[in-house]
Structure 1
Amino acid sequence: MYLYMNGEVIKEEEARISPFDHGFLYGMGLFETFRVYGGHPFLLVDHLERLNSGLKILGIQKSLTIVEVVKALQPLLEKNELDNAYIRLNVSAGARGVGLPVEPYEDAIVMMFVKALPEAGVPTEKEAQFLKISRNTPEGPLRLKSHHYMNNLLAKKEIGTRTDVEGIFLTKEGVIAEGIVSNIFWVIDNKLFTPDIRTGILNGITRSFVIELAKKRGICVEEGFYQPEILNSATEVFVTNSIQELVAISKIDSLVLPGVNGELLQALHKEYRLYSNKLWSKKEIMELGGV
């Protein structure tokens, strides 16, 4: 497999970073994962806006443009002979001596990793369970998609090796937060609910896109602080991320749900599929008109 690193497409075994890279030593790095559909990087503008905003917060003096990323992405896809792919765009702070600096990082390392994905198809389904480990609080004013992933890794160990189960975090206050690698939604009385960003969750790109899709369809969306018992009244539950899209939940602990038979899940996924090979940003939804 080939990857992109600071302007070059190279074999993965040729990639090197310094042991003094602060992305490695202190977690000073951010990443975005997005999906390429038939060569199109879906919602890339939104991913770059979140990435660049986070880099500014961390004092990493790097800002990536869509032209720059597409220029790097095209030969990467060609070299790996891929048209449908998982992409991880990673920016690490770069090498600096041991210690905690206050000065900005000026030598960031930009990398892109790629994995093959099949053509997108029908919605998939998982079970879910509430985790014993709580969602940690963000390291700064809001949660960044950073190298700080121990909370997620410990949660994954709690779930075990099953790939058809998603763990759902609660905050230390006991309210619903998010999945290990996803945001969560549920339906009650034809209204769509999801945790508020102020719970400390990641403001997922697919989360934001699904909220816009729902509003466009005239569906009321409520964001708030919810105890787990609220899901006992839910008629549908699903989770979202940029690679798995919308994933239906068929069961949460002992609560049985309709899974992929959920009507709103099916409608939103169908519309998501219409846009996935053409949109650069969620702002384009209204410009394209109704479905």
Structure 2
Amino acid sequence: MSTRVNINGTVFLPEEARISVFDRAVLYGDGIYETLRTYDGRLFLYDEHFRRLQSSLAGLEIPFSMNSDELYNEIMKTVEATGHRDTMVRLLITRGISPINLNPCENQSSTLIIIVEKYKPFPQDLYEKGASLVIAQARRNSPKCLSPAIKSLNLLNNFLAYREAIKKKSFDSLLLSIDDYVAEGTTFNVFWVKDGVLYTPDEKVGILKGTTRDIVCLLAEQAGIECNKGFFGKESMLESDECFITSTLKEIMPVAQIDTKKIGYVCPGDITGRLMKLFQEKRDEFMYNPAMKR
């Protein structure tokens, strides 16, 4: 068994999955998405992802009739169809099919797409030695243009930033805001450490409120690690003692180099290593404690 695609409740093999060319996701990128993971067959942080999904849908005024339980059941139906326990789940909701004009039809039905495939771990070297990043020329969208709370299908600036990294043979890219503040990566949030204090960009810079980012901030607070959220120039990050990135798929990944600047003397650093361990413990508690719900 392998990848499966659920379109509006019907599960297909990848080569059989089809949507209309008149779907507004194709015509305009008019839709939202979430990326989730299952560990040993259990969806991790589903409720947090669903809340962000609802926020994105509200921001674009896309109607969607499923409640949390109904959507959960559709996701798990698709996960089970793959035959895999550790999976990557890509969830997309579009505004649906419409004529070729910007004005959406009244009473149109949204399109639900759930893609589930076996999770492919990142190379272990990235967690043991750290990733290399570049600061992209492409910038993060200004929150004055599009709310960062909307996880939309429009990812062209992220794609262009990622292409910059590939051309420079780096793992990935970081984006600055239009005001030259550190924002986020193409698909991840960023943290750094200086003199034992943790720093990360404030949401008001124009970043996505990452679910893993929120967990890391909570774990840091519980561990007595001061965490400052704010508006920081790239020099603050480049002169740090430690740096790491966070996302659903990457979890916590240390960073060894940004552009040509080596970060710190040891990678992963002490605080990064502590947070990686705390995150693994939280994840394992979820996996092996039946009392913990989704």
TM-score in same-fold range (> 0.5): yes
CA contact (8 A) 2:98 2:105 kept: no
On the 8 A contact 2:134/2:170 being kept in 1, the answer is no
Over the matched positions of the two proteins, sequence identity in percent amounts to 29
Counterparts in 2 of 1:213 and 1:64: CA distance versus 1, 3 Å: farther
Show structure 2 runs of 5+ residues with no match.
none
2:272 is matched with: 265
Q: Partner residue of 1:40?
A: 42
In structure 1, runs of 5+ residues without a counterpart are 286-291
1:129 to 127, 131, 134: 134
- Name the amino acid aligned to 1:136: N
Change (3 A) 1:176 1:37: same
1:164 is displaced (CA, Å) by 5.3
Aligned length: 282
CA gap of 1:216–1:55, structure 2 versus 1, over 3 A, is same
Work out which of the residue numbers 204, 211, 214 in structure 2 matches 1:208: 214
CA contact (8 A) 1:37 1:119 kept: no
1:226 matches 2:232: yes
Superposed displacement of residue 268, structure 1:
1.1
Structure 1 residue 24 displacement after superposition = 1.6
Measured in 1, the distance between the counterparts of 2:132 and 2:148 equals 29
1:221-260 residue pairs with structure 2 within 5 A?
A: 221-257=227-263, 258=265, 260=267
SS, match of residue 194 in structure 1? strand
TM-fit CA distance, 1:26 = 1.4
1:103-114 aligned within 5 A: 106-114=108-116
- Letter of the structure 1 residue corresponding to residue 220 of structure 2: A
Deviation at 1:87, TM superposition (A): 0.7
**1:51-200 equivalences in 2 (<5 Å):** 51-101=53-103, 106-117=108-119, 124=127, 125-138=130-143, 139-160=145-166, 165-200=171-206
Q: Per the alignment, do residues 209 and 150 of structure 1 end up closer, same or farther by CA in structure 2, a change over 3 Å counting?
A: same
How big is the shift at 1:118? 5.2
Following the alignment from structure 2 to structure 1, what is the Cα–Cα distance between the partners of residues 167 and 83?
30
How far off is 1:75 after superposition? Answer: 2.8
Contact kept? 1:186, 1:234, Cα under 8 Å? yes
CA distance in 1 between partners of 2:29 and 2:166 (Å):
25
One-letter amino acid matched to 1:170? L
Of 234-243 and 22-31, deviating more is 22-31
CA shift for structure 1 position 78: 2.3
> Residues 140 and 175 of structure 2 are in contact (CA less than 8 Å); yes or no, is this contact kept in structure 1?
yes
Superposed CA deviations along residues 226-264 of structure 1, whole A, max 9, x for unmatched, are 111112431110011110111100011232125643111
2: CA distance between counterparts of 1:96 and 1:259?
A: 54
Once the two structures are superposed, residues 167-211 of structure 1 have per-residue CA deviations (whole angstroms, 9 ceiling, x without a partner) of 111112111111111111001121110011111111111111111
The runs of 4+ residues in structure 1 deviating greater than 4 Å are: 102-105, 118-123, 161-164, 277-280
Shift of 1:119: 7.1
Partner in structure 2 of residue 289 of structure 1:
none
